């Protein structure tokens, strides 16, 4: 099995690669895991991990410049595919960040958190949303194997995806209102939080991805 971590110049790439390699040990999977900026290597992969970090307009521009867009689009059609952070946001139709068009795999918008957010005690909530937060699994999914309800994952983001179809929402978190933080359908799974920074929970998600047969 070949697993490509897509390198289009935007993302916590080596940390993502190391976390997928660590997850391989948990899975006991016989896999070749590689970081690549070559479309041919993405096309040759059996599974794809698609990270992203930074501003969505910059990430989308970098994806276009890299020539990897078509290979990523091909993988979305028929391969197990894991989008992480901005890599998840890019799967949607449009982002408020820079009025940016995404890949359009999922219907919906990427929206910015409001400026004047407060928790239930009236304390101001900062944007970006940064740190550990509980994730509520809203639908059963093979990638949730051995992961407890309300497991905490690590977030760093000012924008969040808002799917048009509620059926693709697999998990939510609160800041302070509930927002979608995991989306998925068929062969595609995407998280707003950083799996590579989420310790045991993130490793289990990646382990389950390596074992996944959609």
Q: Which of 14, 96, 194, 199 is catalytic?
A: 194
- Told to judge if 157 belongs to the known catalytic residues of this protein, a careful annotator would answer no
Q: Which of 59, 85, 157, 181 is catalytic?
A: 85
- Told to judge if 196 belongs to the known catalytic residues of this protein, a careful annotator would answer yes
- Told to judge if 129 belongs to the known catalytic residues of this protein, a careful annotator would answer no
Q: Which of 129, 157, 181, 196 is catalytic?
A: 196
Q: In the structure encoding, which two tokens stand for residue 115, read together? A: 């400026």
Q: Which residues contact 122 (CB under 8 A, 6 or more apart)?
A: none
| Catalytically active residues, by annotation | 85, 194, 196
């Amino acid at each position: 099995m070949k697993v490509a971590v897509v390198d289009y110049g935007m993302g916590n790439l080596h940390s993502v690669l190391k976390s997928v390699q660590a997850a391989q040990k948990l899975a006991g999977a016989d896999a070749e895991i590689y970081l690549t900026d070559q479309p041919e290597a993405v096309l040759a992969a059996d599974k794809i991990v698609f990270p992203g970090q930074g501003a969505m307009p910059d990430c989308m521009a970098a994806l276009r410049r890299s020539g990897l867009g078509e290979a990523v689009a091909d993988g979305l059609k028929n391969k197990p595919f894991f989008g992480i952070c901005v890599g998840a946001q890019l799967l949607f139709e449009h982002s408020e960040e820079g009025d940016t068009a995404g890949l359009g795999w999922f219907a919906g918008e990427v929206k910015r958190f409001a400026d004047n957010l407060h928790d239930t005690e009236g304390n101001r909530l900062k944007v970006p949303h940064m740190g550990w937060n509980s994730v509520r699994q809203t639908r059963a999914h093979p990638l949730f194997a051995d992961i407890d309800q309300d497991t905490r994952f690590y977030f760093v983001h000012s924008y969040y995806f808002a799917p048009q179809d509620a059926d693709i929402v697999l998990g939510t978190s609160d800041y302070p209102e509930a927002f979608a933080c995991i989306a998925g359908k068929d062969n595609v799974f995407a998280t707003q939080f950083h799996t590579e920074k989420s310790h045991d929970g993130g490793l289990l998600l990646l382990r389950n991805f390596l074992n996944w047969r959609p």
